[in-house]
């Protein structure tokens, strides 16, 4: 193979890799687009929310039931002989899962709220790399090479 053939093959491979990376980036944006996922899969999102709510309610009910089952005499015994140190119990698996889910939901809600506040300010452009930003620049759906060659 000559040097020109190697250069041509390298350029072709670069073009293919550029297209693959652009497609992966497009799929990543599509996957992480929460609003789009909710629009495409409303039943799944609803059922997931229902299941998480049921799990949270079940955990609260179970905790309440266990506390009620000890009875009044156990509560009196605790108050008569206070311990020098309160015993710390490690959270159960369900409590850990619910805590992680609650934290993730709180982070999502705060981030979504901040994004809405920031993007609603007049004269402010959306974050770079978003579909709105790409569409504004006229490069939505194009690879970087195609965008640069059109310039």
**pLDDT tens track for 104-120:** 888 888 888 777 777 76
pLDDT at 115: 78
**CA nearest to 19, candidates 150, 144, 139, 151:** 144
Structure tokens at 88: 């710390």
Q: What is the pLDDT of residue 113?
A: 79
Q: For position 146, what pLDDT does the model report?
A: 57
Mind listing the pLDDT tens digit for each residue in 130-147?
555 555 555 555 555 555
CA distance 98 to 6: 57
81/67: higher pLDDT: 67
- Would you state the pLDDT for residue 130? 53
The backbone torsions φ and ψ at residue 120, rounded to the nearest 5 degrees and listed phi first, read -85, -10
């Amino acid at each position: 193979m000559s040097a020109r053939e190697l250069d041509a093959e390298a350029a072709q491979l670069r073009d293919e890799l550029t297209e693959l990376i652009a497609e992966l980036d497009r799929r990543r944006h599509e996957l992480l687009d929460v609003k789009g996922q909710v629009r495409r899969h409303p039943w799944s999102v609803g059922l997931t929310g229902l299941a998480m709510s049921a799990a949270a309610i079940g955990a609260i009910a179970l905790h309440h039931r266990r506390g009620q089952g000890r009875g009044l005499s156990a509560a009196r015994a605790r108050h008569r002989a206070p311990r020098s140190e309160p015993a710390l119990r490690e959270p159960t698996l369900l409590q850990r899962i619910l805590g992680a889910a609650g934290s993730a939901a709180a982070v999502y809600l705060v981030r979504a709220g901040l994004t809405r506040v920031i993007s609603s300010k007049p004269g402010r452009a959306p974050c770079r790399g978003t579909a709105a930003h790409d569409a504004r620049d006229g490069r939505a759906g194009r690879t970087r090479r195609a965008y640069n060659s059109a310039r």
